[in-house]
Amino acid sequence: MSASKKLNVDRSALEQLLLKRFFFAPSFGIYDGVKGLYDYGPTGTALQQNLINHWRQHFVIEEDMLEVDCSIITPSKVLETSGHVAKFADWMCRDTGNNEVRRADHLVEEVLEARLENDALARKLAATSISGDQSAAAPKPSGKKTKKVAAPTKLDDAVAEEYRSILAKLDNYDGDGLGELISKYDIRNPETGNAVTPPVAFNLMFQTSIGPAGTLKGFLRPETAQGQFMNFSRLLEFNNQKMPFASAMVGRSFRNEISPRSGLLRVREFTMAEIEHYVDPMNKNHPRFDEVADIKLPLLPNAVQLEGKTETVMMSIGDAVSQGVVDNKTLGYFLGRIYLYLAAIGIRTDLLRFRQHMKNEMAHYACDCWDAEIYTTYGWIECVGCADRSAYDLR
């Protein structure tokens, strides 16, 4: 059974209930609010704190990590050196009619998925009609005037398969590739029907100036990693010069998302819990690897995605490392620990997968990266990223 058939959730009703009971609410609502900014009420705050407390117990305390708390405002030089100023960007396009901004890859995904859903409905209605059951094919007249709805359109089998293949490897497209898809498949803004402009890069960091003179450029941090890297030598000294060791941090991060429209997903200000594990680059073994080696994970390697497929492979972490699917034992160990944490806080493991990044989507600092993705009413959503950053940030 596909993941899409395992959910029976009325998202709109659930969101209305959460708003009514003030789990969360849009920030500054009496001033019309700002997309991508939310406030948590008493219950939402308590739930978030419980998740953080369990994360801290599961990782920081059990793994004897060194927890820090670092500055949010970050000088530009730091993020220029880390590569974020040049490369921390998504691709955006604009509606040629009303100038609305859309994130290019999300727009392509939304339109192609809608066409496939339309195709599936057309095929279902055709099959119903052939079987002689007309009840599902056409609604009974009610005597009331109803708005005309366009009949679903069946796609050619080859076109439908092409769409599925594109969606399977969509994260691997750069700006030019997304532009070609938009042009070739006549991707338009579904809300207006207008054409969109070719994709351009948009840096996701919030820029600010430090001090009254305004001459020192800075940013609100897009992740909590940089403060940990800045203090690496102090942490190493604190740990009596012993390797490997890990630092950890919980705090706010900020990303100027292009078009946040998925509730609490892809917001512009959020709490992030992050770990940096420092290991000898010539020896990436982990002393506790055997504890997770037999855990079987649903893996989606990049090679499978490049074939236009999304079927996961159930594989033990030990086999994944020995066969080179996962790069090393330390990376494999933390994939196992992440799996155990998500299962412990109530994530259904049948709605969980670990997807490997493809070459074009790999972060500029990473040599291998896996996302723990959860299937939701919005589709597959990244929840945790686990990357081998090599020594990029410490050179």
Tens of pLDDT, residue by residue over 340-376, are: 999 999 999 999 999 999 887 877 777 889 999 999 9
Among 339, 337, 244, residue whose Cα is nearest residue 286: 244
Written as six digits, the tokens of 388 are 């081998």
Contact status, residue 88 vs residue 74, Cβ threshold 8 Å: no
* Cα distance between the two ends of the chain: 47
Number of CB atoms found within 10 A of residue 352's CB: 21
d(C-alpha 196, C-alpha 182), whole Å: 8
Q: What pLDDT is attached to residue 70?
A: 97
DSSP 167-186: HHTGGG--HHHHHHHHHHTT
Q: Are strands 379-388 and 73-75 parallel, antiparallel or unpaired?
A: unpaired
Query: Mean pLDDT in the chain?
Result: 91
Contact status, residue 163 vs residue 305, Cβ threshold 8 Å: no
Q: What pLDDT is attached to residue 1?
A: 40
pTM score of the predicted model: 0.85
Among 39, 290, 111, 229, residue whose Cα is nearest residue 119: 111
Sign of CA dihedral 24, 26, 28, 32: negative
Kindly list the distances between the CA atom of residue 306 and the CA atoms of 164, 171, 288, 353, 379, in Å, as whole numbers in the listed order: 12, 10, 33, 17, 19
Q: What pLDDT is attached to residue 355?
A: 97
Give, for all 395 residues of the chain, the pLDDT tens digit. 444 456 888 999 999 999 999 999 999 999 999 999 999 999 999 999 999 999 999 999 999 999 999 999 999 999 999 889 998 999 999 999 999 999 999 999 999 999 999 999 998 888 877 666 555 444 555 555 544 556 788 899 999 999 999 999 999 999 999 999 999 999 999 999 999 999 999 999 999 999 999 899 999 999 999 999 999 999 999 999 999 999 999 999 999 999 888 889 889 999 999 999 999 988 999 999 999 999 999 999 999 999 999 999 999 999 999 999 999 999 999 999 999 999 999 999 999 999 999 887 877 777 889 999 999 998 899 999 999 987 777 76
DSSP 119-137: HHHHHHHHHHHHHT--TTT
The gap from C-alpha 265 to its chain's centroid, in whole angstroms, comes to 8
